[in-house]
Amino acid sequence: MNHSTPEIPAADRSTNSARVSRPLVNSEELSQIKRELLQAEVRLAKARATVTGTEVAIKVLNARMKALTK
């Protein structure tokens, strides 16, 4: 049984020290980024809805055109 302190690999030590030395996050800046992300997600959802609506319109128009050209 080994009761010695486990050795932490150098890569883990540098990762942990990088986290500790990182400056604190400004909560106002974080809130602004979250708000901008939400707005971007809303714009993306609207764009996807527009694309879907346009695809449906194209299918309907193609079907009408085929029906008229028969």
pLDDT tens digits, one per residue of 16-28: 555 556 567 799 9
Residues 6+ apart with CB under 8 A from 8: 16
pTM of the model: 0.56
Domain residue ranges of the chain, discontinuous segments joined by +: 26-69
Mean of the pLDDT values across residues 32-45? 97
> Whose structure tokens read 């879907």?
52
Give the SS3 label for residue 6.
coil
What is the reported pLDDT for 37? 98
Nearest C-alpha neighbor of 66 from the set 46, 58, 42: 58
